[in-house]
Structures are given as structure tokens and as C-alpha cells.
């Protein structure tokens, strides 16, 4: 068995040496292929780099646009919450104002009721008291009668004075006419020819 394993080891060495010899024989070809492929890769490297940059910029643009959409959605949610908060606050203020107005209206109505009752009581007690009014009207009618009598007396006195003044005026007028026409009487009595 030992010989078999030695043979196997030798065979392996021979195979390795054969592979090494093949590689050495192909070394100049491999060298030229290596430089040729590197040159080909260098010529394509710029276009591949530009393509990679373009892909990266497209991908980053997609990321930024997605992030902007996300920000837009988030900002919309924040605005929605803020506006709903402001709406609730405004509604609360409107409700408070309406409640205050209703309360003030109720208080005003109650005050009006109290005032109405008080004024009605006061009017019935002091102004429209039947006996008080009866006495007041009797006093007013007596005062009116006294004033009417005084006015009638005053009117009669004024009428007498006016008649007296009128008579005096007529008397003066007659005296004036008599003085003015006294010569006519005297000429008529004398028989003067001018009066005919």
C-alpha cells in the first residue's frame, strides 16, 4: 500500500509540474491579455463611472423625492392637527360667547320681570289708587271751576273795558267831527249862499 501512496504522490507532483509548465508557457499571453483587458476596462471605466453617477443621482433623487413626499404628508398631518385645534378653540370661544349671551339675556329678562312687577305695584299703589285719584280729580275739578269763574269774570271785565274804550273812541270821533264841521252849521244858520 505504501507503494501505491508513493505513486499517487509522485503522480500528483507530476500533474502539478505539468500545470506549472502550462502556465509558464502561457505567461506572456496571459500578461498581454491582462494589459489588454485593463486597457479595455480603462476605456469603459469613464462611461461606466458616468453611468454609475447617473444611477446614483437618480437613486438619490428618488430618495429625496420620497423624503419630500414623506415630509409633505407629515406637514399635512401637522397642519391638520393644528387647524383642528384652532377650530376647536374657536368653537369653544363661540360656545362660551353664546352661553354668556344667553345668560345675560336670561338675567335681563329676569330684571325686566322684576322691574315690571315693581312698576305695576308702584303704579297701582300710588298713581292709580282709586280713592286717591277720586280725591285728586275732585280737587282738580274744584280748581278748574274756580279758575273758570275767575276767567269768566276777567272776560266780562275785559269786555266792559273794551266797550268803554270803544264808547270813548266814538265820543272822541264825534267831538272831532263836530269841531271839524262847526263852520258848516254856522254858515247854514247864517244863510250864506255857498251852502246850498
Q: Which pTM value belongs to this model?
A: 0.34
The reply to whether 64 falls in a domain is: no
The reported pLDDT for the residue numbered 86 is: 96
Predicted confidence band of residue 37 (pLDDT cuts 50, 70, 90): confident
- Residue pLDDT, tens place only, 98-146: 999 999 999 999 999 999 999 988 887 777 777 777 888 899 999 999 9
The reply to whether 164 falls in a domain is: yes
The reported pLDDT for the residue numbered 34 is: 76
The reply to whether 94 falls in a domain is: no
The reply to whether 156 falls in a domain is: yes
**Residue 168: domain span:** 129-173
The reply to whether 52 falls in a domain is: no
**Residue 150 pLDDT greater than 90, yes or no:** yes
Contacts of 107 (CB under 8 A, 6+ apart): none
The reply to whether 160 falls in a domain is: yes
Residue 151 cell numbers, joined: 276767567
The reply to whether 26 falls in a domain is: no
The label of the residue with cell 269768566 reads 152
Distance CA 133, CA 76 (A): 79
Distance CA 102, CA 109 (A): 10
Distance CA 15, CA 2 (A): 20
Distance CA 146, CA 162 (A): 24
Predicted confidence band of residue 188 (pLDDT cuts 50, 70, 90): low
The reply to whether 139 falls in a domain is: yes
How many distinct structural domains can be found in the chain? 1
- Residue pLDDT, tens place only, 16-35: 888 877 777 777 777 777 77
Amino acid at each position: 500500500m505504501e507503494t501505491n501512496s508513493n505513486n499517487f504522490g509522485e503522480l500528483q507532483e507530476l500533474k502539478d509540474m505539468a500545470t506549472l509548465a502550462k502556465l509558464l508557457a502561457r505567461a506572456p499571453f496571459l500578461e498581454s491579455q491582462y494589459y489588454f483587458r485593463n486597457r479595455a476596462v480603462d476605456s469603459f471605466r469613464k462611461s461606466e463611472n458616468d453611468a454609475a453617477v447617473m444611477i446614483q443621482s437618480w437613486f438619490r433623487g428618488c430618495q429625496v423625492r420620497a423624503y419630500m413626499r414623506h415630509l409633505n404628508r407629515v406637514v399635512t398631518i401637522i397642519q391638520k392637527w393644528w387647524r383642528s385645534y384652532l377650530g376647536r378653540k374657536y368653537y369653544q370661544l363661540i360656545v362660551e360667547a353664546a352661553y354668556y349671551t344667553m345668560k345675560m339675556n336670561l338675567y335681563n329678562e329676569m330684571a325686566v320681570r322684576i322691574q315690571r312687577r315693581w312698576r305695576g305695584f308702584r303704579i297701582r299703589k300710588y298713581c292709580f289708587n282709586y280713592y286717591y285719584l277720586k280725591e285728586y280729580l275732585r280737587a282738580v275739578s274744584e280748581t278748574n271751576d274756580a279758575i273758570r269763574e275767575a276767567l269768566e269774570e276777567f272776560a266780562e271785565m275785559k269786555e266792559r273795558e273794551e266797550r268803554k274804550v270803544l264808547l270813548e273812541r266814538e265820543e272822541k270821533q264825534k267831538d272831532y267831527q263836530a269841531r271839524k264841521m262847526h263852520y258848516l252849521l254856522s254858515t247854514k244858520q247864517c244863510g250864506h249862499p255857498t251852502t246850498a
